Structure 1
Amino acid sequence: MGYHTFDAGRADKLEDAQQRYRFLSAEELLWALSLDGGETVADFGSGTGFYTDDVAPAVDHVYAVDIQEAMHDYYREKGVPDNVELVTSGVDDLPLDTDSLDAAFSTMTYHEFAGEEALDEITRVLADDGRLVIADWAATGSGDHGPPLDERFSGAETAKHLRDAGFYIEYTAVRPETFVLIGELK
């Protein structure tokens, strides 16, 4: 159900803090994850580790999951925090133990892996009451930033996907170009 991935040859564009934080700040992501410091979390579609780096100081361990080894190469050159483990994998076949995550997040990548197989895997690796935060480009947006509109989902569609997978939707915010959802696995 997902679409193409971000071109790793343009990875440097993913490090533009002014542009990235315009759509999701580090503070909002940390608030949405509701961390207490001892968690194990995963960043699905971690890319260059831009948001992984924001979460790493607040948790015990982070799996930075990306399907492109070239993105991990970029992250290695930038410098990977000690508590971050790079995992080259699609979200639909995660090499993580069942119930091994307290929380997971996806920042502007849900549209790349959305589908029943990926959500089944996410529910497998998340512990009971595990939290999933998705911030992505909205199908209702202008298309001036991010992927083409026909590759996006609306906040309502994504909430339905998560509910169908067994999540309770705790929070939804739909903005002009993006949306943020917090789901808790029940």
Structure 2
Amino acid sequence: METNCSQAPATRHELATLAGGCFWCLEAVFSQLKGVLHVTSGYSNGHHPHPTYEDVCTGETGHAEVVQITFDPAVIRFTDLLAVFFETHDPTTLNRQGHDVGTQYRSGIYTHSPEQAEQARGVIQRLTDSGVFAAPIVTEVHPVTNYHPAEAFHARYAERNPHQGYCVYVVAPKVAHFRQRFGNWLQDA
């Protein structure tokens, strides 16, 4: 007797690593998207072998504050993540997001494949050609290197500390703008 043991193919998850200022803001935004399975704050593309938050804040490690996003490309595409990314930070300010200043706050897309790099450069070119931003886009596109997860106390920071000053005046308005602009992409939509 034969049995049919065919199974549905396993879902292939992908990673995206994005830098656009403080990782508390990015995590608060991306964790609400349909198809996003996990968001981890961390440090990437620097030279220090084991950076800490304090090290990265000096600007001397070369790392950017990033979020590493695990997503299901059958639900949300990498280019959709980039649409949210470019809508929720200023990609035209070098090493700065609002009052957060330093190389750790740079705008960057740290790619996990040549396809991601090609897509990222394509999105930047389309945005540049459209003139949507008044100043040139300074977002760097490089392969992800030397990634390290941030300390545990950064996980879901804004969610756990909604009354902390930075969360009230910086994170919450950014999340509100995101929710208004991408309401149909929210997990709870």
The TM-score normalised by the length of structure 1 is 0.29
Could you say which structure has the greater relative contact order, defined with CA pairs below 8 angstroms and 6 or more residues apart? 2
